[in-house]
Structure 1
Amino acid sequence: MTHERTGNGRGGALSVPRPARPRRFRRLPVAAAALSVLGALAILVATGVIWPGRIFAAPYEVRGVDVSSYQGGIDWELLAGDDLEFAYIKATEGSSSVDRRFAASWEGARRTDLLVGAYHFLSFESSGEAQARHVIETVPADATLPIAVDVEYYGDYFAHPPSRAEVDAILAPLLEELTAHYGAPPVIYATPAAYDAYIAGAYPDSPIWIRSVVVPPRLSDGRDWTFWQYSHRDRRPGYDGEEPYIDMNVYRGTRAQLTELTG
């Protein structure tokens, strides 16, 4: 081992240098810092402070919310004043269920300048005809947005999804009857998994409303989306329900173009 003389001005004392730390140990503080940053970001995302989809959705000018009874009572004047242009309100599910806040939310939203529509949650357990009758009995025909049909997995269907033929047998007559009654093709809302399984390549007249809360959506069949649900963890003023978050969406186009969807 060699030693290096240090010129310390006090008789040239010798010092023995410490052995160099292996590189793997020098990397540990960097890795720990990176993990801390990632952990902090994960917490901010989980609490809705940061949401990646918001960044990508920022260029779209026409934005809106979708709500259900989980948002509780809504001060629609306050909510509508928070840079919103439209709202979709849950009305029905299956062939018999009505969202308990639908009537109040519908009345309140219609008193604002928002473009307002209702959505129906598709059931895999009752016929399309029965579900269409239920929607028509519940949702007024004077909406300023087309009716929307929410197609996604629920309950045991996540593990045991129905076949495309089974869903087509329900969805096709439902869309046909709703189009005839309301005068415009319904919007189809879908998660990416449900879109790929049941919607891709079909129902060309229906505008597509797709959920993608991290990155901009790209539909597997090359189709353009019309609405994009970019966040399910936003906080907005004006509601007091058990759910602290609210879904945010954008429309691909102008408000004038959005009004034309109703036909």
Structure 2
Amino acid sequence: MTAKLARSRWRRILWRTLAIAAAVLAIGVAARAWFLHWQPDRARYPLRGIDVSHHQGDIDWKAVARDDVAFAYLKASEGGDHRDRRYAANERDARAAGVPVGAYHFFTFCRGGAAQAANFLAAAPAAADALPPAVDLEFGGNCGRRPDDAALRAELAAFLAPVEAAYGKPALLYVTPEFFDAYRAALPSRPLWRRAILRAPDSRAAWTLWQYHNRARVAGIDGPVDLNVFEGDAAAFARWRDTSAQPREIPVGAARAATAQ
């Protein structure tokens, strides 16, 4: 092979390699753009909301309100003594921007439900116009000990009783797929906030909120944020917010029967 032919061959290989690399890069950019902007059918689910904690840092709530955000859930507390350091500021500023807000508590297996309820109510006292309180039920970030069904249900009942009495509304249960699989039969009948990233929740139980994204972008927030939609229109949201009338429930007996199958 002559030197000229060798150079020509290597040029073809180089250009072919560069073309493949460019195609891979373009696919990666397109996939990332699709991921960041994916959302459910907004005609069916017109109300979009966020959930945040101190991890989002300082939030420009006026910018958030302008970016198609109809509601927000704010982390208030965790376990028996931890309180989110950004809750008070987020609650104040979100309200000032006209964003309906609710508080959520991260439920730990390592503390009793009554102590956790006291911590939550001290961090997020009930307000008449607040969204129903929410309890975050998941394995990630929790302590290693996992209670059996009866113990979990008892501690959840000890948490929910004072919280719902204070708020005058049924609480919302946030559940990851793993938690729902493990404890579906133990969950009390409450509206569900289901996590199902980039896909619709399965049909095993109805839901009130659906967390569909965990790395989205919203104006006024630096970095990624969770996105959610409400199951219903603005009128249904107003009824749920103000009266929590007839929330969708998991029939506990049916859930246990289904789990046993």
Same fold, TM-score > 0.5, yes or no: yes
Equivalent position to 1:255, from 224, 234, 243: 234
* Structure-2 change in CA distance of 1:231 and 1:200 (3 Å): farther
| 1:154 counterpart = 2:133 | no
**Is the CA contact (8 Å cut-off) linking 2:47 and 2:230 kept in structure 1?**
yes
User: How many angstroms does 1:252 deviate by?
Assistant: 0.5
Q: How does 1:163-242 map to 2 (within 5 A)?
A: 163-200=148-185, 202-204=187-189, 206-219=190-203, 222-240=204-222
User: How many angstroms does 1:254 deviate by?
Assistant: 1.7
| 1:136 counterpart = 2:121 | yes
User: How many angstroms does 1:165 deviate by?
Assistant: 2.6
* Structure-2 change in CA distance of 1:178 and 1:234 (3 Å): same
Distance, in Å, in 2 between the alignment partners of 1:140 and 1:57 is: 35
Distance, in Å, in 1 between the alignment partners of 2:185 and 2:97 is: 35
Q: Secondary structure at the match of 1:232?
A: strand
Task: Give the letter for the 2:211 counterpart.
Answer: Q
Q: Look up the match of 1:96.
A: 81
Aligned pair count reads 221
**Is the CA contact (8 Å cut-off) linking 1:53 and 1:230 kept in structure 2?**
no
* Structure-2 change in CA distance of 1:43 and 1:172 (3 Å): farther
* Structure-2 change in CA distance of 1:201 and 1:131 (3 Å): closer
**Is the CA contact (8 Å cut-off) linking 1:53 and 1:216 kept in structure 2?**
no
- Any idea what the Cα deviations from partners look like across 1:145-193, whole Å, max 9, x if unmatched? 00100000034757x6433233222212211221111101100001011
* Structure-2 change in CA distance of 1:164 and 1:53 (3 Å): farther
Equivalent position to 2:42, from 58, 64, 68: 58
- Any idea what the Cα deviations from partners look like across 1:31-77, whole Å, max 9, x if unmatched? xx7xx66x8656655x5x22299343433101100000011011111
* Structure-2 change in CA distance of 1:125 and 1:156 (3 Å): closer
Equivalent position to 2:106, from 121, 129, 150: 121
Distance, in Å, in 2 between the alignment partners of 1:197 and 1:163 is: 10
User: How many angstroms does 1:113 deviate by?
Assistant: 2.1
* Structure-2 change in CA distance of 1:140 and 1:56 (3 Å): same
Q: How does 1:70-81 map to 2 (within 5 A)?
A: 70-81=55-66
After superposition, the CA RMSD in angstroms is 2.5
Distance, in Å, in 2 between the alignment partners of 1:53 and 1:171 is: 36
Q: What fraction of aligned residue pairs are identical, expressed as a percent?
A: 39
- Any idea what the Cα deviations from partners look like across 1:88-108, whole Å, max 9, x if unmatched? 000000010000101100100
Q: Which runs of 5+ in 2 are unaligned?
A: 1-15, 244-261
| 1:245 counterpart = 2:224 | yes
Task: Give the letter for the 2:140 counterpart.
Answer: Y
Q: How does 1:2-17 map to 2 (within 5 A)?
A: none
- Comparing both structures, which one devotes a greater share of its residues to helix? 2
